[in-house]
Structure 1
Amino acid sequence: MEEELYQSEERIFLRDYVRCVVESLGALPWNDIDRALESLHDARLRRAGIFICGNGGSAATASHFTNDLNKGANVEGVPRFRAVALVDNTPLLTAWSNDSCYEDAFVEQLRNLVRPGDLVIGISGSGNSPNVLNAVRFARQVGAHTIGLTGGQGGKLAPLVDIAVVVPNACMEQIEDMHMVLEHAMVSALRDRARRERVPSLLLPEGWPARWADSDLAEASGGRRAVFLPQDGILVPPTWSQGTDPEAWELLPGALEAMQVWAHAGLAVVVFGGREDVAHQPVPYEIIESAYRTLMAQVSMRGGRIDAVAWCPHRVEEKCNCYAAKANLITYAAKVLHLDTAHSYLVGDSGRDIALGMAADCRTALVLTARGSAERRQVEAHWGARCMVLPDLAAATEWVLSEL
């Protein structure tokens, strides 16, 4: 009888515990969660580093969160998360704790890793863990974005971070339960969004977060002007025969000079392309992206500049909108970089290039190099005088300058 009574009391306690968790889940700060999701998605698209820290049960959540971001959120054709749990390297964590102090164990790791535009997530049930607070303070000092997962009244962490997700509950165990539920739900939502959106891949120079792309200046002036160029046939010869090794890519005559002139004139230079422009055989997303990034570095080392590469990571059977009437390759890059497409230019050598520029409301020009001569009649029949026809890239460079 005494055993049955004990079990009955235990069951009552468990039911009450679960009831409190369910009630708190229903009262979560959804607007703040939405902002946190947007920040994580943005970090993913920008290839920003994500660094997560916590203590005790929150350390376990930080490690679990990192695991799920790096594996569970993967979607083919979308950048993978670059997440690191600052709690996982036990030798390094204990070395800094022993030789410096535990309060700086996360800060010392961030000094090796974090860059402007990265994302630091601090998890603290009380919101008052000194090493988490110090990590967030340091992250803000170097220009990283910050998210805090906490509970109760938010502690000192909530007012310190850019986005605070405060669980409305005072029980530490229940706060940690809800942090785990939130972690799983957020990763699932991020995976679902990546599957639905099928946005182009946008590469920016290292250290230049997309959301910082001269946004104040661009918005004040109605948007920055740009020149959009296809990688294939304008910058380099058709690359299907050269494979994904960018060392084998040679810039076509006039390409480097054109990019130098346009950059000096204050125009953003955006290169666009797709999977089939790099290799006709199946190639992993990361290898193609690496090839584009190497091309950007090669141009930079030779005195030119590519401000961004917008490329379609999708296969033909996926029926994306990158090259369709919505012209996502151009419009997505323009949205992220605050570009004014109506006062921007697209120079291409094919009807597909010209169609992309027209759909994005750019001023367009067909050059008669590479495929241009063969496609001239089709382009003129379809767009007439709306599309300039020029002999080569040097003439296109002069045309753009004359329009400024």
Structure 2
Amino acid sequence: MKLVILDRDGTINADSDDYIKSPQEWEPLPGALEAIARMNHAGWHVAIASNQSGLGRGLFDVAALNAMHAKMHKLLAAHGGRVDAIFYCPHTPEDGCSCRKPLAGLFEQIGERFGVELKGVPVVGDGLRDMQAAAAAGCEPHLVLTGKGAEFRGCALPETFPPGTRVHEDLAAFAEHLVGRPAPRPQA
């Protein structure tokens, strides 16, 4: 199975320091929905792994989160795309959970759900925590220069990023890279 794991805020949709709390605030980044559809059409399954500490902070509830995701699904469908599963951590940093990125818990849950080995699975995100979680799970880290990643435009990544982190202008550029590369060989 060809699986790619995406971060949500700052990767697929615009991010906010005040959190994305409602469907009205959830706005896709230019080209992001088309990029997901392109990956789908090339045979890739897409899962989302997202820290959503706004839930734990009481800034929005699960109904609001579900409404945001319903909007995303509807807009994606209009572009011929889909997300196969959404995994999120509702905890705050103080909760000490194992699912909050930079830990690998969400990725491990995705691997279990899809029955896949995570080694080499591409992960796309806009921040250091996304890349650290990807590396911790044995995945292939890809940073997009949108959202929090915009601060790294035109400069080298700090050494805090996992070795081998690849950088892409945005999700559309990542999709171009992913669809254009040779398919992975099945493991014997």
**TM bracket (short chain):** 0.7 to 0.9
Give yes or no for the alignment of 1:389 onto 2:155. no
| Cα distance in 2, alignment partners of residues 276 and 403 from structure 1 | 37
Cα deviation, 1:16-66, whole Å, max 9, x if unaligned, reads xxxxxxxxxxxxxxxxxxxxxxxxxxxxxxxxxxxxxxxxxxxxxxxxxxx
Q: Which of structures 1 and 2 has the larger relative contact order (alpha carbons within 8 angstroms, sep 6+)?
A: 2
Q: Which residue of 1 aligns with 2:186?
A: none
Q: CA deviation at 1:294?
A: 3.5
Give 3-state SS (helix, strand or coil) of 1:382's partner.
Answer: coil
Sort the Cα spacing of 1:233 and 1:278 in 2 relative to 1 into closer, same or farther, 3 A. Answer: farther
Alignment check: 8 A CA contact 2:3 2:122 kept: yes
Q: CA deviation at 1:359?
A: 1.0
Q: CA deviation at 1:305?
A: 0.7
| Cα distance in 1, alignment partners of residues 75 and 158 from structure 2 | 35
Q: CA deviation at 1:324?
A: 5.2
Of 20, 27, 32, the residue aligned with 1:250 is: 27
Q: Which residue of 1 aligns with 2:38?
A: 261
Of 224, 231, 237, the residue aligned with 2:8 is: 231
Cα deviation, 1:324-377, whole Å, max 9, x if unaligned, reads 565111110110122332232111111011111111111111122222142576
TM-score by length of 2: 0.81
TM-score by length of 1: 0.40
Alignment check: 8 A CA contact 2:101 2:133 kept: yes
Give 3-state SS (helix, strand or coil) of 2:174's partner.
Answer: helix
Give 3-state SS (helix, strand or coil) of 2:167's partner.
Answer: strand
Alignment check: 8 A CA contact 2:49 2:88 kept: yes
Give 3-state SS (helix, strand or coil) of 2:49's partner.
Answer: strand
Q: Which residue of 1 aligns with 2:176?
A: 398
* 2:169 partner amino acid: P
* Unmatched runs of 5 consecutive residues or more in structure 2: 184-188
| Cα distance in 2, alignment partners of residues 271 and 294 from structure 1 | 15
* 1:386 partner amino acid: G
Cα deviation, 1:105-144, whole Å, max 9, x if unaligned, reads xxxxxxxxxxxxxxxxxxxxxxxxxxxxxxxxxxxxxxxx
Sort the Cα spacing of 1:403 and 1:352 in 2 relative to 1 into closer, same or farther, 3 A. Answer: farther
| Higher-Rg member (1/2) | 1
- The within-5 A match list for 1:133-148 is none
Give yes or no for the alignment of 1:372 onto 2:175. no
* Unmatched runs of 5 consecutive residues or more in structure 1: 1-223
Cα deviation, 1:214-252, whole Å, max 9, x if unaligned, reads xxxxxxxxxx22111111001111145474321442211
Cα deviation, 1:133-168, whole Å, max 9, x if unaligned, reads xxxxxxxxxxxxxxxxxxxxxxxxxxxxxxxxxxxx
- The within-5 A match list for 1:203-218 is none
Structure richer in helix, relative to its length: 1
